[in-house]
A and B are shown apart, each in its own frame.
Chain A
Amino acid sequence: MTDALVFDQVRIVLAGRALIALDRKISPGEVLTVMGPSGIGKSTLLAYAAGFLDPAFSAQGRVLSGPLDLTRLPPHRRRLGLLFQDPLLFPHMNVGENIAFALPADLRGRERRGAAVAAALADVDLAGFEARDPATLSGGQKARVALMRVLESRPRALLLDEPFSRLDAALRDQIRRLVFDKARARGLPVLLVTHDRADAEAAAGPVLDFGSPSAADQPAASAASDCSRP
């Protein structure tokens, strides 16, 4: 079982102006949705957790996985699985290589790694797609490869940055369900950042809405405590 993902008094500041703040725990298998208009630092919050804070911003607080303080680790040791709006499959690798790149190095042997890649692809109905160039995939196929890639890196948690917004409506529902099902099946804590209400509903977890009028006035201090705690 995985550990909970804890945001311990995390605050994002841009040029002295407090943006978003988050102080809570996301249990394994739970999806916490953060909503709000653009510009309040939702994506920056994810970037801070993953270790890619733009130097224009500053941030305080810790992000923990169980007892482990991730903020003290370099980005590549945090193992927080990121999914963006774009699938960002590496264009110079084929589909199989994209997934193999994510497999932990301690899984050894060409055959075993190949089998793991094949199983991952089969898991999302893409069996036999190893040699395909990502550029030849449809939007839904890319999204599925991106999902399996992040899961095969055995992340401690998932950080989703509006990952469904570029998909068309029919596909969006399907991929959304797939992502949440897989995350729950693996007991991963998930932080979802979105401005699509339907995302929040599909996530079926707690929602922090930083767009509500009371929160918009003083986003930093009050928003997190205002919102629905389970």
Chain B
Amino acid sequence: MLKLAPALTLTLMLGPVAAGLFGTLLPAAGYVPALGGTAMSREPLRLLLGQPGIGQSALLSLGTGLAATLGAFTVVVLFTAAFEGSRFFRLLRRLLSPLMAVPHAAAAFGLAFLIAPSGFVMRLLSPWATGLQRPPDLLIVGDPLGLTMTLGLMAKEIPFLFLMLLAALPQADPLRSQRVAASLGYAPVAGWLTTVLPRVYPQIRLPVFAVLAYATSVVDVALILGPTTPPPLAVRLTGWMNDPDLSLRFMASAGALAQLGLSLFAILLWICGERLAAMLGRRWIEGGRRSAAERLIPALSGSAMALLATAMLAGLALLALWSLAGPWRFPDTLPHHLTLRAWMVHGPAAGDAIATTLAIALPVIAVAIALALACLENETRDGRPVQHRSLPLLYLPLIVPQIAFLFGLQILFLMAGLHDTLLAVALGHMVFVLPYVFLALSDPWRAVDPRYGHMASALGASPARSFWRVRLPLARKAVATAAALGFAVSVAQYLPTLLIGGGRVSTVTTEAVALAAGGNRQLIGLYGLLQMLLPFAAFLLAAAIPGVAHRRRADGEAAA
């Protein structure tokens, strides 16, 4: 059974991606007999290209995605270069780690509440500084260039890239590298950029690609913060796909393939950028320049990081405040009074959404954890790590834009009669939960001293007993954390839930995003808060599980 685990895991993770891409390809070529398309044609593509503003939509997706990724990457790298090891660095590390679990949509709503014309910042400044009695007529949220959307994506991707970088850092031996560089006369930032970055970058490259693919094809953040005239490509595709007019699906599928091409093109551009950076870096190393804007970089990266972290936290606090707000007119800084009205009125409906969210997430993480443990245990018993061959495969579902294969998957589930079911949605979530669970679990699992397992066997414990009594308990903290992360990933899924559920499966995330178009801020605050609280609760539970190193001393008194 255990031998089958890796194959089964890959099938559950990559099968839907491959099948979905195939299922997207057929209607894109005009072939879906059920919808009356029986012959291959270029008609869907022609229709797509004929849509007004389609080029602008594509450019918007490409531009915002690249800018957000490059911005987040630059801030994270320069911040780490300037501050690694400092108290400020540790503070931000503590602040940003939990933010990674916040779903994109909740972060985007929080940001909107903060910087919108009627948002908190404007209220703080009005009327004493601005003289405004009414919200200014500015298009801050939904600006046509997608600047706010870019900012929102940046703010949300920074914690992710930061944590990925932190996980990769120890292997690059940053402290000693920097000491050697310093002894050779390199200033801190220059030393970090020339000796540490080249060694950590290969390890964060796949996460960067995942961010790039996500940011160029994002739907939920774009619906909340993005422009509408026209919206980015992925938003328009989703609209067509959910249109009652089924004939639009041919064009939507052609668009999904175009989206795939667009995201791959963004990655290609990034790879060109990597080459360029490597060339410039070599030249720098050969030239031996000892400093790199040693004042400007800490000042800029430090303030950018602090500002974005503050904005995220303030936005999330605003979600909570709005969910409890009574009348809150502009330019009042705070609500007139607090009330539980929104919670009383919408509580039952929200309860249903929470129940659906849990009904999907809990079985998915149970299966994902079991599969990941089975793969790792199989690897332990074989004594051969499979890590290096399989790592790009793990990232594949994160690098192919969701929309490109979810369309096809929706059609395949439709043909299998599984459409709109919780099972189908759960299978869709599995594709995204499995990689994260596996990534979160594999390093701590492999870090456990293998001699514990050997010792258990030598003491006569069967392989199963060694697993249940020794290896699993030693990794229980990591298992709990991986489960919480998997839960957070499942809760945050918007597009898979919407498309595979056919709009009939309502989780807290689909409900929250659906509220974006309306103006009920109390309700948005409520759902945004729920979106955030569910993963936090999971991580709190995981934190309550004692790690082995923190085991309480069984009898302190007797020990004395």
Contacts and interface: CB of A to CB of B under 8 A. Distances in A.
Interface of A: 47, 50-52, 54-55, 74-82, 84, 86, 88, 90-92, 94, 101-102, 104, 128, 131-133, 135-136, 149-150, 153, 155
Contacts of A77: 460
A131 B459 contact: no
B451 A102 contact: no
A78 B458 CA distance: 7
A102 B459 contact: yes
Contact of B460 (A55, A76, A91, A135): A76
A136 to B, nearest CB: 5
Interface of B: 382-384, 449-452, 454-463, 465-466, 469-470, 473-474, 476, 548-549, 551-555, 558-559
16 contacts: A50-B457, A50-B458, A52-B454, A55-B382, A79-B460, A86-B451, A88-B451, A88-B455, A90-B452, A90-B455, A90-B456, A92-B551, A101-B459, A102-B459, A150-B459, A153-B459
A133 B454 CA distance: 21
B451 A132 contact: no
Contacts of B555: 131-132
A162 to B, nearest CB: 13
Q: Which 9 A-B pairs have the closest CB atoms?
A: A75-B457, A153-B459, A76-B457, A102-B459, A82-B458, A92-B473, A131-B554, A91-B548, A131-B555
A145 to B, nearest CB: 12
Contacts of B459: 81, 101-102, 149-150, 153
A175 to B, nearest CB: 18
A13 B29 CA distance: 58
Given A75-B458, A88-B449, 16 more contacts: A50-B457, A52-B454, A55-B383, A76-B458, A76-B460, A76-B462, A81-B458, A82-B455, A88-B451, A88-B455, A101-B459, A101-B469, A131-B554, A131-B555, A133-B553, A136-B559
A101 B456 contact: yes
A172 to B, nearest CB: 21
A136 B560 CA distance: 10
B460 A102 contact: yes
Nearest to A153: B459
A55 B384 contact: yes
A interface secondary structure, majority: loop
A81 B456 CA distance: 10
A124 to B, nearest CB: 17
Contacts of A55: 382-384
A78 B457 CA distance: 9
Contacts of A101: 456, 459, 461, 469
Contacts of A91: 474, 548-549, 551
B495 to A, nearest CB: 41
Nearest to B453: A52
B interface secondary structure, majority: helix
A84 B470 CA distance: 17
A51 B452 contact: no
B452 A153 contact: no
Nearest to A146: B455
A84 B451 contact: yes
Contacts of A150: 458-459
Contacts of B551: 91-92, 133, 135
Contacts of A133: 551-554
A131 B460 contact: no
B111 to A, nearest CB: 43
Contacts of A84: 451, 455
B454 A75 contact: yes
Nearest to A133: B553
Nearest to A161: B451
A199 to B, nearest CB: 20
Nearest to A77: B460
Nearest to B464: A76
Nearest to A159: B458
Nearest to B454: A52
Most central of A80, A101, A104 by chain B CB within 10 Å? A101
A51 B462 CA distance: 13
A90 B476 CA distance: 14
A76 B558 CA distance: 35
Contact of A128 (B450, B457, B461, B558): B558
A91 B456 CA distance: 13
A72 to B, nearest CB: 15
A83 B296 CA distance: 56
B470 A136 contact: no
A132 B449 CA distance: 22
Contacts of B554: 94, 131-133
B451 A92 contact: no
Given A91-B548, A92-B474, A101-B469, A80 B458 contact: yes
A213 B172 CA distance: 39
Nearest to B470: A90
Most central of A86, A90, A149, A155 by chain B CB within 10 Å? A90
A47 B476 CA distance: 27
Contacts of A75: 454, 457-458
A94 B462 CA distance: 21
Contacts of A128: 558
A42 to B, nearest CB: 16
Nearest to B559: A136
A188 to B, nearest CB: 14
A51 B476 CA distance: 26
A139 to B, nearest CB: 16
A51 B455 CA distance: 11
B451 to A, nearest CB: 6
A76 B548 contact: no
A153 B460 contact: yes
Given A54-B383, A88-B451, A92-B474, A136 B460 contact: no
Contacts of B456: 76, 90, 101
A82 to B, nearest CB: 4
Nearest to A80: B458
B558 A132 contact: yes
Contacts of A82: 454-455, 458
A90 B553 CA distance: 14
A15 to B, nearest CB: 16
Contacts of A86: 451
A136 B555 CA distance: 10
